[in-house]
Structure 1
Amino acid sequence: MNMFSALHDAWYFFSHHLAAIARLCLPLIVLEGLLLQQITNLVAADSATLWRLLAGLLFYPLYSAALILFLDARSHGLQPRVRDLLAASLRLWPSFALLAGINTLAIMLGAALLVLPGIWLMVKLAFAEYLLVLRGLNPIKALQESFELSDGYFWPMLGCILIVMLPLWLLNGWSHTNETLTENALARLLLDCASRFLQLFSSVVLFRLFMLRSAQPEAE
């Protein structure tokens, strides 16, 4: 598995389908951003994290499942309609939301114990969403299969995730400490939505890695 080749292929796809991905995902991302902003403004700080996680589970499964279905359709030369993708993602929402919740709690628990276990779990569970959406596995089976499928590919997967996500994590950290942004609701919303949209590129990268791994019956 060539990490840089996967990143190149993913960037080519993302850049050439940017408008289609924006039409599919951006409206839900904006709605998610608006809801998260209201939670931040209305909910007490000690409980805001929990409510933000719950709000994320409302929208994230919808646009993530729709994007995965779009990636799969385009990889087969199909031109799916936005409404069909969203309808399919809505049907997948219960199982995807459960998977995302388990995934998030596992990574948070690992990060709370030490940073490295959280990173390890993030990589090992990275294929679970694709297994649930594309292979129809239930959440627990998808998590188990992701552990097995990622064997032997930890470092390329970690490298791709860090190359894509580390700049966005740093940007988010900076935005939360910048007084100008924290006092400007519109700027904060725009930056949050832009960050979440750019994070979709990581889904494209992981889809490419998933396809490469699935094509090989055994880890090298």
Structure 2
Amino acid sequence: MGSSEIAVAVVRRWLALALEVITAHEEELGRLDAAAGDGDHGATMVRGLRAANAAVEKTSDGAGRLLIEAGAAFSDASGGASGALIGALLSSAGRVLDDGPFDTATATKALQAGLSMVMRLGKAQPGDKTLVDALKPFVDALAAQPADQPLLAAWRAALPAAQAGAAATREMVAKRGRSAKLGERSLGHADPGATSLVYLLQAMETALAEECG
């Protein structure tokens, strides 16, 4: 199986695994969101991922196109701010990834594009208690890996930065989104968006290990 075929297999497997893991943590994500929101983050993520999986079943295009289709479907099905941000992340990354090569350097550029789009749409910066607090440390850590390092190894090396970033949101007060209106009610609780993003990144590690390991 060539590089492009592997990339397609990874994306499909990742979306399936992401749905599994987010479904398993749906109640946890809902509880985190209820601390300073309406408690629907877990349900929103599950709904979006179901639609994303359904969308990629209908196309046989390359990995970049799969991510674009998945992002559009996620955004349409999930609704709300978080749905739009995750959808934009996937679609922006897909446009840069395109047909590859499916390596650390290209994946880093794709995620940097996705991060920029998320920050622009959400008007969020690090420290605002959003998914950016997990995504930016991960992207920065991935960019710090040798460009010729296998993607699985680079991904694994960058994961702790995302996990630490999500954990750090417990000590932050939300400054963006619906949670910002409730101020310090969010203190002591991890941000649901940052938490779900870590689950998505962990699912990708598993997909890469299965298809590339």
Give 1 or 2 for the bigger CA radius of gyration: 1
Normalised TM-score (structure 1): 0.34
Q: Which has the higher contact order (CA 8 A, sep 6+)?
A: 1
TM-score (norm 2): 0.35
